[in-house]
Amino acid sequence: MNHNIELNQVTYTYPGITTPALTDLSLAIPAGQFCAVVGPNGAGKSTLAYTLSGFIPHFYHGTLQGEVTIAGMNTRDTPLSELVLMVGLVFQNPFNQISGTKFTVREEIAFGMENLGVDRQEMINRCDDIMAKVGIRDLAQRSPLSLSGGQMQRVVIASVLAMQPQILILDEPTSQLDPIGSREVLLTIRELASTHAMTVVMIEHKLEWLAVYADRMVALADGTIIADGLPGEVLADEAVWSRGVGRTRYTQASHQARMNGLWPKGRSLAVTLEQAVAGFQAAQTTYSKKS
């Protein structure tokens, strides 16, 4: 199988800490998959993001056991400067991700490409293209410093996408965004991932739309994977909730209905709005027939 990302029994401990952040973790993600990673704070999600992009072990030293292979390259043996060609990384705080040397958004987006020595005309084309796709064309001449957190995060995402990575890793990219902004960013990434066959790994706490757009969901707790499957399955699993992974209100409502004996038998709990509507409507029909 063509796996773009493979982790084989990975254990990692940060320098100076005794407890490992990741323990015996194995994960294989095929090319083009949109994989969501969820879990409570401290579960090792960010550590996983750094491991998937090669920053562990190259930037954050410490002890890394096991094998990590990205796009066919072993992260331990390949220099970070080569790995960043394959993997784009977006994390929470947009203020620390802008280069700090560019005076307009357009140039900011070109920063990564300049570092890679991309031809000037190609840079111009990609800038225009990505600004249109991410919906920030009107910000092109603005100073990156003058933007709001949400606008800045979109610029960061655009700059990373402009480098055309094969794999995109996002660590809570919507924390600064308002609800509809979050949904739009998720949707944009989903669309771009499909059109460019990009593998996406997204860490998020906001579950509602993640459940709709992600192909697969991995739940992490205490440095290990506790669930791996369709978002609908993972988020409806009670064992997963007890480890601190969240759930949508739809799941909570359908769970409460089930506890009261009102949820259709054999039907799995709702995770999205659609599933909740369908489930409660079915319950309505079933139980109104009875009464």
Partner 1 sequence: MSQALSLYIARTSGVHRLHPITKLALAGLMLSGGLALPGPWLIYAFLVVVVVPLSVFGGILTALIVTTVRIVLPFAISVFLIQGFLWPGGTLLLTIGPFALKNEGLLFAIASTGRILMVVTSFLWFAFTTRPDVLMSTLTQRGFPPGLSYVIVATLQIVPRFQARATTILDAQQSRGLNIGGSLPSRARAILPLVVPLILSSLIDVEERALAIEARGFNHPGAKTSLLEAQEASWEPTARWCIAIVALAVVGLGLWLR
Partner 2 sequence: MDIWIDQLSFTYPAGVTALRGVSLKAMPGESVAIIGENGAGKTTLVKHINGLLKPTSGQVLVGGWNTREYTVAQLASRVGYVFQNPDDQLFASTVWAEVLFGPKNIGLTMEQATERADAALRAVGLIDSAQKHPYDLSISQRKKVAVASVLAMQTPMLVLDEPTTGQDHNDTELVGQIVEDLKEQGRTVITITHDIDFCAEHFDRVVVMAQGMILLDGPARDTLMQAEVLAQTHVEPPQLMRLSEQLNMQERPLNVQEFIEFWCA
Residues within the interface to partner 1 (CB under 8 A): 53, 55, 59, 80-81, 84-85, 88-89, 91, 93, 95-103, 106-107, 110-120, 123-124, 127, 143, 145-148, 159-160, 163
**What tokens were used for 192?**
């771009």
Rank residues 160 and 235 by Cβ distance to partner 2 and give the closer one. 235
Q: Is 257 in the site for partner 2 (CB under 8 A)?
A: yes
**Number of residues that make up the chain:** 291
Phi-psi region of 22 (alpha: psi -120 to 50; beta: other; left: phi over 0): beta
CB 276 within 8 A of CB 254: yes
**What tokens were used for 224?**
């290990």
| Residue 253 contact among partner 1, partner 2, none, beta carbon within 5 to 8 Å by kind | partner 2
Nearest-angstrom CA–CA distance, 204 and 64: 25
Q: Closest approach of Cβ 272 to partner 2, in Å?
A: 10
Residue list 260-289, contact with partner 2 (CB under 8 A): 260, 262, 273, 276-277, 280-281, 284
Residue list 61-120, contact with partner 2 (CB under 8 A): 92
Interface pick for partner 2 out of 11, 99, 104, 175 (rule CB under 8 A): 175
What are the two backbone dihedrals, phi and then psi, of residue 140, each rounded to the nearest 5 degrees? -50, -40
x/- track of binding to partner 2 for residues 208-247 (CB under 8 A): x-----------------------------------xxxx
Please name the residues in contact with 109: beta carbons below 8 A apart, sequence gap of 6 or more. Answer: 127, 130, 131, 155, 158, 159, 162
Q: Is 148 in the site for partner 2 (CB under 8 A)?
A: yes
Q: Closest approach of Cβ 277 to partner 2, in Å?
A: 5
Stretch that binds partner 2, among 27-35, 60-68, 112-120, 179-187 (CB under 8 A): 179-187
Tell me which amino acid residue 280 is.
F
Rank residues 112 and 173 by Cβ distance to partner 2 and give the closer one. 173
∠ at Cα 288 (236, 253), nearest 5°?
25
Alpha helices (H) along the chain: 45-52, 55-58, 80-86, 105-115, 120-134, 149-161, 179-196, 207-213, 231-235, 238-241, 249-259, 273-290
Rank residues 100 and 229 by Cβ distance to partner 1 and give the closer one. 100
Residue list 4-63, contact with partner 2 (CB under 8 A): 39-42
What are the two backbone dihedrals, phi and then psi, of residue 83, each rounded to the nearest 5 degrees? -65, -35
State whether the Cα torsion 15-222-1-157 is positive or negative: negative
Interface pick for partner 2 out of 33, 166, 224, 248 (rule CB under 8 A): 248
Site for partner 2, rule CB under 8 A: 39-42, 92, 148-151, 172, 175-181, 205, 208, 244-250, 252-253, 256-257, 260, 262, 273, 276-277, 280-281, 284
